[in-house]
């Protein structure tokens, strides 16, 4: 069941967030930024939990296939981190982003 994937659900949430002083203090664009973040986070979490994690748990997955899956997971987690960092509201979770360095995984 996708919660944030309809225009109506997203618009209702945007309106509620716009009326919330905790969100409004970050500017008029913040409610929309948060709605987009929640929607994309929902999608990414579903990909990780419903698709990638079950594959990772399969003991038959080894070698190059395992490495490819790990790279896919890395990409999904990077996407999640982006949507945690993008909204000003979430920046209190990790006020600096020095730790968030894009680097390529070393494949041997």
Digit-coded pLDDT (tens) for 67-105: 999 999 999 999 998 998 899 998 877 666 665 555 555
- 54: exposed, middle or buried (Cβ count in 10 Å: 0-12, 13-18, 19+): exposed
Average pLDDT over residues 19-26: 95
86: Cβ–Cβ under 8 A, 6 or more apart, which residues? 33, 37
pLDDT (0 to 100) of residue 34: 96
Domain contains 46 = yes
Would you state the pLDDT for residue 5? 72
Q: Is residue 87 part of a domain?
A: yes
> Is there a domain that residue 84 lies in?
yes
Return d(Cα 82, Cα 93) in angstroms, integer. 13
Q: What percent of the chain has pLDDT over 70?
A: 85
Q: Is residue 98 part of a domain?
A: no
Instruction: Quote the domain boundaries for residue 71.
Output: 7-92
- The whole-number average pLDDT for the span 5-32 is 94
Tally of domains in the chain = 1
CB 23 within 8 A of CB 17: yes
């Amino acid at each position: 069941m996708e919660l944030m994937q309809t225009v109506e659900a997203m618009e209702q949430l945007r309106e509620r967030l716009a009326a919330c002083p905790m969100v409004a203090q970050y500017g008029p664009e913040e409610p929309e930024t948060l709605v987009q973040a929640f929607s994309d986070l929902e999608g990414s979490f579903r990909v990780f939990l419903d698709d990638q994690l079950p594959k990772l748990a399969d003991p038959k997955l080894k070698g190059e296939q395992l490495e490819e899956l790990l790279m896919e997971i890395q990409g999904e987690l990077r996407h999640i981190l982006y949507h945690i960092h993008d909204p000003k509201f979430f920046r209190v979770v990790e006020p600096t982003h020095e730790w968030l360095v894009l680097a390529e995984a070393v494949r041997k």
